[in-house]
Amino acid sequence: MALSNICGADPAWECGSFEAPTPELFGVDYIQGKTAISALNCGEYNVGLSLPTLDAHQKIVQSLLEAPSTDLQLQQGAEHTKTANPRNLFLHGTTTLSFKFQGGVMVAVDSRASSGQQISSQTVNKVIPISKYLLGTMAGGAADCTYWMRVLNRQCRMYELRNRERITVSAASKLLSNMLYGYKGSGISIGSMIAGYDKRGPGLYVIDNDGMRVAGNCFSIGSGSPYAFGVLDTEYRWDLTDKEAYELARRAIYHATMRDPYSGGNVSVYHIKETGWVKIETQDVSDLFYKDRGIPVTA
């Protein structure tokens, strides 16, 4: 009691007002140990202080849950109801695309990062090198994509050291898919494309945060993807020349940035060939706008 008097502890914290926690809040394992907890605080080892009451726990947990919910509703508008899960209301915006053709794989992305209704950055690099022959694209949560691409980079390098051969695009995408499946339902946000060139030729896969893995010839991911597909579906074909593929990828991203408010910044184009990937160019969408309409750019 002396320690309680010196510290000025509230009487509600003393032994007499201790309340056992309920199974709904802490689970069976905690409840089975309540006898030991009560003995520690109310038996021979009693020092006059006990655990906070259940009401105190509930108030703390409730305050932690309510604050972000209010912030998200204010940030993202009234279209989200109070019953919606705030952890799933984050807005993601981007436009990324990849397609295979006779000369390899073409990858193009914008560079705008958005946080709700706010533009966070105009210079984000959404193409992440995995190896000399593999590239990954970023769509969804920037932190999630960056982290898991670094993990994939390490796993691919370990594979090459163990097996003394280059990892295939299929194997690399399967590694990422297996890792993400283990975190299914945990709230991570990833929509990435794994593009590369191996002994089988050009390869292209899409992987999402649930571990889904799909192979294909032409993909676009992000809020601007419907506009990018409008260009790709019209002009994409397998026998494109390198120059035609550059122009198609650049134009698809450009038109998406003109219609999608969450896409913009710069258009970056990459070409993955048998000898590895190369960055073709990075152009500001404003310059492409003037060029597309034949408007001279004045200094």
Q: Cα separation of 270 and 246, whole Å?
A: 8
Residues 6+ apart with CB under 8 A from 199: 166, 168
Q: Provide the 3-class DSSP secondary structure of residue 207.
A: strand
Q: Do 285 and 246 meet the contact criterion of CB atoms below 8 Å apart?
A: no
Catalytic residue among 35, 81, 94, 146: 94
* 127 three-class SS: strand
Does the annotation count 95 as an active-site position? no
67: three-class secondary structure by DSSP: helix
CA gap 196, 154 in Å, rounded: 16
Q: What's the CA gap between 49 and 46, in Å, rounded?
A: 7
Q: Please say whether the beta carbons of 282 and 266 come within 8 A.
A: yes
Residues known to be catalytic: 94
